[in-house]
Amino acid sequence: MIIRPQWMSGDAPDGVMLDSCLREHLARLPRLERLKRYYDGKNDVRLRRREPGLPNNRLAHGFARYITAMASGYLIGSPVDYQPRDTGDARAAAAVEALREAYRDANADSVDAELARNASVYGRAVELVYADEQAQPRSVSLDPASAFVVYGDTVAARPLFGVYYTPVRRGDGGVDGWRVHVFTDKKRVTWRMSALSDFRSGQVESEADHFFGGVPMVEYWNDECERGDFEPVLSLIDAYDALASDRLNDKQQFVDALLLLYGCTMETDERGRTPGQQLREDKALALPDSDARAEWLCKQLNEADTEVLRQALKEDIHKLCLVPDMTDQHFAANISGVAMRYKLLGLEQLTRVKERWFREGLNGRLALYAAFLQRRGGMALSPGDVRIAFTRSLPMNSLEEARTLNALGGLAEPGALRERAAAILGEK
C-alpha cells in the first residue's frame, strides 16, 4: 500500500488517512481468505451442490499445503546464518554475536519459519518487533489478513507506518469493537473503534514511544507481485478436485445401477419385502418364463481417459508452481546428484526470487534490533556489516560424495585437492 508522505499529519497518520488505508486493506480480504481456505484444505469443491438423490462426493486435495511446505521448507528449513562481513574486525564480530544472541532469545528461527509460510500462502508476511516486560527485543509473526505496512511513493519506498488490528472480546466471546494499533518510526498509537469500516467513530486510546529507530513492522514479500506460491494454479486445483469427485460419483452411480426387467414385474412378497430388499437379501431373481429377461442399465466408464487427464492436471500443477512432485517415480529414480539438481532447477529458481525478498525483510529486522541494542549500550551495527546466508534443505547422497572424494585422491590437502580436480575436469 503506497501513499504520499505529505498527506500525513506530522509524524503520524490522521483518522482520515487511516480510514482510507483500512478500506483498501479490507477490499483485499476476500483474496486472502480464499488462499487461507485452500491452505486449510477447504477448497471450492467443498461448496459444490448437486440435485437431491445424486451422489455428491467433494474431494479436496491438499496441493496448496504441499506446495507451501516444500517451497517454504526449501527456503528456510535450515536456520538462517549470520556472520560478520569483515571477519578480521573484532568489534563487528562482537556486535554480530550480540545480535545472534538476541535472535536466539527471541526464537527468531521459529518466527522465520512462520513468516516464510505466510509469505508462501498469502504472498506476503508481516513481522512485529517489540520490547517485552524485561526490555528485551522480541519478534512475532502477525496475520497478514489483519496487518499491513504503508509506504511512501518515492523510489526508496520508505515505510511510513504499520497497522494491525485485533477484536475486543466480551466475556461471552462476542466482538465489542476493535483496537487498531498504528506504529510509526517513533510511536505506537492505539485507536478504539466500533467498526473497521467506519474509522470516523474511532478515538485514540493510548500512545507510547518505542525505541527501534524505524517502523517496527516489517513486510516479507514472496515476489514483486505479492503472489502466493500456489495462487497461480488455483484453477488447476479446482479442476483436479472436480475430476476426482466426479470420478467417485460415477463409480457410486455405477454401483447403484438400475435393473431393467423385460416381460415381468416385481412386487412386494408375502414377507412384506420391497423388490429392492428382495434383490439385496436373496441375491437372486426368478423370472416367470423364457421370454422374460433382466439386465443392468449403467453408465460406461472410460477409466483410461480419466486417468490420463488426472495425470496431466497433476503434472501441470507441479510444473506451473515450480514445485516438483517428490513422490513421482521418475523423480525418485534419479539418485545422481546432478540429475537431482536438474529436477530441482525450477524450485531453485523460485527459491532464489523468494530469498531476495526475504533477505530484504531480514535486513529491515536487523536494523531494528541493532538500533534497539545500541540504545541499550551495544555496539553500532548496520545490515551492510552482516552476511546473511541461506542453506538449502537438500537430501545428501553420501555414497556419490565418497566416490567423488576418492576419485580426487582421498582426504588430501586443499591445494592438492584443487589441482587433482582441475586435472580430472581437464581430461574430460
Q: Among 172-186, 234-248, 356-370, which is the least confidently predicted range?
A: 172-186
- Best-predicted range by mean pLDDT (193-207, 213-227, 267-281): 213-227
Closest CA to 91 of 382, 368, 369: 382
Tell me, yes or no, whether 395 lies in a domain. no
Q: Render pLDDT for 267-303 as a digit per residue (tens, 0 to 9).
A: 787 788 887 777 777 777 777 777 788 777 666 667 7
Closest CA to 48 of 59, 61, 63, 39: 59
pLDDT computed for residue 263 by the predictor: 74
Q: Render pLDDT for 7-60 as a digit per residue (tens, 0 to 9).
A: 565 567 877 888 888 889 999 999 999 999 999 999 999 999 988 878 889 999
- Structural domain tally of the chain? 3
pLDDT computed for residue 243 by the predictor: 93
Tell me, yes or no, whether 396 lies in a domain. no
Instruction: Give me Rg for the CA atoms of the chain.
Output: 31
Split at pLDDT 50, 70, 90, the class of 118 is very high
pLDDT computed for residue 41 by the predictor: 95
Tell me, yes or no, whether 49 lies in a domain. yes
Tell me, yes or no, whether 35 lies in a domain. yes
Contact criterion met (CB below 8 Å) for 399 and 90: no
Do 191 and 332 sit in the same domain of this protein? Answer: no
Flag whether pLDDT at 244 surpasses 90: yes
Tell me, yes or no, whether 163 lies in a domain. yes
Strands (E), 222-357: 258-262, 293-297
Domain boundary among 313, 346, 379: 346
pLDDT computed for residue 428 by the predictor: 45
Contact criterion met (CB below 8 Å) for 240 and 137: no
The pTM of this model reads 0.82
List the Cα angle 78/374/133 in 5-degree steps: 75
DSSP state of 231: G
pLDDT computed for residue 398 by the predictor: 61
Q: Among 97-106, 146-155, 237-246, 362-371, which is the least confidently predicted range?
A: 146-155
pLDDT computed for residue 144 by the predictor: 96
How many residues does this entry show for the chain?
428
Tell me, yes or no, whether 394 lies in a domain. no
Tell me, yes or no, whether 53 lies in a domain. yes
Query: How large a percentage of the chain has pLDDT more than 90?
Result: 50
Q: Render pLDDT for 373-390 as a digit per residue (tens, 0 to 9).
A: 999 888 888 888 899 999
Do 289 and 212 sit in the same domain of this protein? Answer: no
Do 225 and 235 sit in the same domain of this protein? Answer: no
Do 24 and 90 sit in the same domain of this protein? Answer: yes
Do 209 and 166 sit in the same domain of this protein? Answer: yes
Do 194 and 246 sit in the same domain of this protein? Answer: no
Closest CA to 25 of 145, 141, 175, 119: 145
Do 179 and 235 sit in the same domain of this protein? Answer: no
* Residue 76 identity (one-letter amino acid): I
Helix H, strand E, coil C: the string for 35-86 is: HHHHHCCCCHHHHCCCCCCCCCCCCCCCHHHHHHHHHHHHHHCCCCEEEECC
Do 385 and 408 sit in the same domain of this protein? Answer: no
Question: What is the mean pLDDT of the segment spanning 244-273?
Answer: 78
pLDDT computed for residue 280 by the predictor: 72
Question: What is the mean pLDDT of the segment spanning 156-160?
Answer: 88
Do 357 and 312 sit in the same domain of this protein? Answer: no
pLDDT computed for residue 175 by the predictor: 85
Flag whether pLDDT at 151 surpasses 80: yes
Do 324 and 368 sit in the same domain of this protein? Answer: no
Split at pLDDT 50, 70, 90, the class of 305 is confident
Flag whether pLDDT at 425 surpasses 90: no
pLDDT computed for residue 36 by the predictor: 97
Rounded distance between C-alpha atoms, residue 379 and residue 93, angstroms = 10
Do 135 and 9 sit in the same domain of this protein? Answer: yes
Q: What residues make up the domain containing 416?
A: 401-427
Do 223 and 235 sit in the same domain of this protein? Answer: no
List the Cα angle 52/58/63 in 5-degree steps: 165
Tell me, yes or no, whether 116 lies in a domain. yes
